[in-house]
Amino acid sequence: MRRSQRVVALTRRLIEEPGRWWNLDDLATEFGAAKSSLSEDVALVREVLAAEGAGVVESRVGAGGGIRFLPLMTAGEATELANELCRRLTDPRRILAGGFLYLGDLVADPVLLERIGRLFATLFRDRGPEAVMTVEARGIPIALMTARALRVPLVMVRRSARLSEGPVVTMNYLSSSGARVETMTLAKKALEGVHRLLIVDDFMRNGGSARGLVDLAREFEVEPVGVGVLIETAEPAEKRLKEYVAVALIEQVDVDERRVRVRMSPRLPGCPPAAAAGTSRLA
């Protein structure tokens, strides 16, 4: 294989499996290349992916040495994503009876979901989550794409226990309105070996579900290292949870005027520059 062919094969592997460690000796053997040539290939791929703002190629030396690709979102791309989300949310055709907004198409779009997952992975990776947890059903696509970008398992909390989950831990909590008792249930096996986890969800009104997920994690003696939600509402201003990240903020849904007022959430932090995320760990 020539250099230009090797870098295609290398880029394919890195992008297709974010977070996977690739052993350089194995790659050199597979490509029939000297290790010194492969090192130059890696440097080239790293440079292009960094210049494009795609993410960081990390190296580690030693017996288990190798390279891996960590997808990252630049601050510019994060702002673009938030703006696009806001634009899509303002479409008056989303307005449902009772002032609800139809969001089904957003958690159904694999291209948008990939970007949301990459954003949450960028914001929370440094806190070392070992799993991404959400509650069924609309949070699952967002949680899965975040888990994929972080290369950690997805944890799906259910609304009711199923025989096929085996023994479960069940917790009751107050609904958003405060009027109902809701249930969350999780298989005892689901968090085996997990010490730190990231919580994500599609929507937050008063924070009851996210609060429930945080409490459930603690019931399993697992530390919730962060909470990310796609969309929050301005009302109620007081949420049941103090610390969380949100991408879009719905300020008002006017059913009579058929108008939705949305803006980027002040809870969306700037993305850390790729250099900060990667350099210190580069060999």
Q: Which of 77, 90, 114, 169 binds a copy of itself (CB under 8 A)?
A: 114
Q: Tell me: does residue 97 bind a copy of itself (CB under 8 A).
A: yes
Q: Tell me: does residue 255 bind a copy of itself (CB under 8 A).
A: no
Rounded to a whole number of angstroms, the minimum distance from the CB of residue 243 to a copy of itself is: 25
Q: Which of 64, 98, 178, 266 binds a copy of itself (CB under 8 A)?
A: 98
- Which residues, 190 to 219, sit near a copy of itself by CB under 8 A? 190, 203
Distance CA(106)–CA(89), nearest Å, equals 9
Distance CA(282)–CA(67), nearest Å, equals 10
Which strands make up the sheet holding 196-204, listed edge to edge?
154-157, 132-135, 196-204, 223-233, 245-254, 259-264
Q: Which stretch binds a copy of itself (CB under 8 A): 83-91, 109-117, 242-250, 256-264?
A: 109-117
Q: Tell me: does residue 7 bind a copy of itself (CB under 8 A).
A: yes
Q: Which of 80, 105, 126, 257 binds a copy of itself (CB under 8 A)?
A: 105
Residues 6+ apart with CB under 8 A from 120: 142, 146, 149, 198, 200, 228, 245
Size of the site for a copy of itself (CB under 8 A): 59
The string over 114-127, giving b where at least 16 C-beta atoms fall within 10 Å of a residue's C-beta and e elsewhere, is ebbbbbbbbbbbee
- Of 127 and 162, nearer to a copy of itself (C-beta) is 162
- Of 98 and 266, nearer to a copy of itself (C-beta) is 98
Largest CA distance in the chain: 70
Residue that is written with structure tokens 């460690």 in the block: 21
Rounded to a whole number of angstroms, the minimum distance from the CB of residue 156 to a copy of itself is: 6
Q: Tell me: does residue 177 bind a copy of itself (CB under 8 A).
A: no
- Which residues, 47 to 86, sit near a copy of itself by CB under 8 A? 47-49, 52, 54
Distance CA(53)–CA(55), nearest Å, equals 6
* Residue pair 80/271 in contact by the 8 Å Cβ criterion: no
- Of 152 and 247, nearer to a copy of itself (C-beta) is 152
The amino acid present at 45, given as its one-letter code, is V
Tokens for 234, please give them: 């301005």
Residues binding a copy of itself (CB under 8 A): 3-5, 7-9, 11-12, 15-17, 20, 44-45, 47-49, 52, 54, 96-98, 100-105, 107-111, 113-114, 136-138, 140-141, 144-145, 147-148, 151-156, 158, 163-166, 187, 189-190, 203
